[in-house]
Amino acid sequence: MGELITLATINNSIQAHLLKSRLESEGIPCFLTDENINTLLPAGPFGGIKVQVHLSDSLRAFDILYDLQEGLERMEV
């Protein structure tokens, strides 16, 4: 279908799935790589769970990621 790029690398499986759900709700197919090994060995040398999208969807995906991060910063007290 196309080249995949890594949108984000996340150390927490729940957060990775939340981002995946948000992207998919916007119609952007999303793939998680290295999830199993990072769940089993969270402090391991594997670099976290990679959230990947197709290159053609990357601009929209980065906008969604930015909006999510901005929203989280506003919620922190």
CATH number of the domain that residue 43 is part of? 3.30.70
Q: How many helical (H) and strand (E) elements, i.e. helices and strands, does the chain have?
A: 3, 3
pLDDT digits (tens, 9 = 90+) for 43-56: 666 678 999 999 99
* Amino acid sitting at position 38: N
Identify the domain containing residue 20 by its residue range: 4-75
- The whole-number pLDDT of residue 22 equals 94
Radius of gyration over every alpha carbon of the chain, rounded to an integer in angstroms: 13
- Number of domains into which the chain is organized: 1
**CB–CB of 19/65 below 8 Å?**
yes
If one compares 2 and 5, the residue with the highest pLDDT of the two is: 5
pTM score over 0.85: no
HSE of 35, CA atoms in CB hemisphere, 13 A: 12
pLDDT digits (tens, 9 = 90+) for 22-49: 999 999 999 999 988 777 766 666 678 9
Burial of residue 20 (number of CB atoms within 10 Å: 0-12, 13-18, 19+): buried
- The whole-number pLDDT of residue 43 equals 62
